[in-house]
Amino acid sequence: MLTLLVVGGALTGAGCRQDMHDNPRYEPYEVGSHREIPEGTVARGALDTNPAAPKVAQAAAAPTPMASPATPALPGATPAPVAAIPVGEDGFPFKVTKEILDRGQNRFNISCLPCHGALGDGNGMIALRGIRRPPSYHDERLRKAPTSYYYDVITNGFGAMSNYADQLTPEDRWKVIAYIRVLQLSQRADGSLSESDRRKLEEAEHASKTTEGHQTAGGHSNQ
C-alpha cells in the first residue's frame, strides 16, 4: 500500500511540472519581441520608385564663389571659397508627368516650403523668423547638383536640416525633387516666344474671344 502511494505521488508530481507554463517568452512590445525587417526589404510593387539611395561624391571646391542672383556678393567683400558642386547620378526612376509634379508640389508645400519658401529661394517663414536661412535652389551649386544629391539630403539630412525619411516616402522624395527642378526652371525660363508659338497663342486667344462672343449673343437672344 505504501509503495502504491509513493508511486502515485511521484506520478502526480511529474504531471504538475511548470516547464511549458513558464517557458521563456517576450512580452508584447518588449525590446526584441518584433521580428526585424531584413535590410533592403522593398514593399511589393514599389521597387521602381524605391531604389537604394544613389551614391553622391563631392567635387573639388571652387576657388571663388559662383555668380548667382539669389546670393549677390556684397560691395567690397572678399570672395570666399564656396562648397563644391556635388556629382552623382542624375535623372528619375520614372517618367515625370503632371500628376507626379502635382504630388511633388503638394509634399513640397507641406514639408519644404516653411524653410525653403514657395519659390525655393530660402525665404520661408521659418527663415524670416530668424532661424538659419537655407541655401537657395537657384544658386549655381544646387542648380547643377544631380537629383541623387537631393535624394541623399532628404534621406539623411544635411547641415542644420534633419532627415525627412519618416515624413516622405522614397517615391515622394523623387516627386519633390521633380518639383524642385520645375522651380529652378521657372526662375530662369526664357520668356521669349518663337514666331510659331506666338502665332498659335494669338489663334487660341482669337478662338477664345469668338467662343465668348457666341455665348454672349446666345444669352441675349434668350432674354
When divided into structural domains, the chain yields a total of 1
- Residue 84 resides in a domain: no
Helix, strand, coil percent content, the chain, rounded in steps of 5: 40, 5, 55
- Residue 152 resides in a domain: yes
- Residue 109 resides in a domain: yes
Q: Where residue 184 sits, what CATH number does that domain have? A: 1.10.760.10
- Residue 100 resides in a domain: yes
| Total-model pTM | 0.57
Look up the domain containing 184 and give its range. 94-190
- Residue 132 resides in a domain: yes
Q: What would the DSSP string read from start to end of 27-52?
A: PTT-TT-SPPPPTT---TT-STT-PP
- Residue 68 resides in a domain: no
Provide the mean pLDDT of the chain.
76
- Residue 181 resides in a domain: yes
pLDDT per position as a tens digit, 113-170: 999 999 999 999 988 888 888 999 999 999 999 998 999 899 889 888 888 988 998 8
- Residue 154 resides in a domain: yes
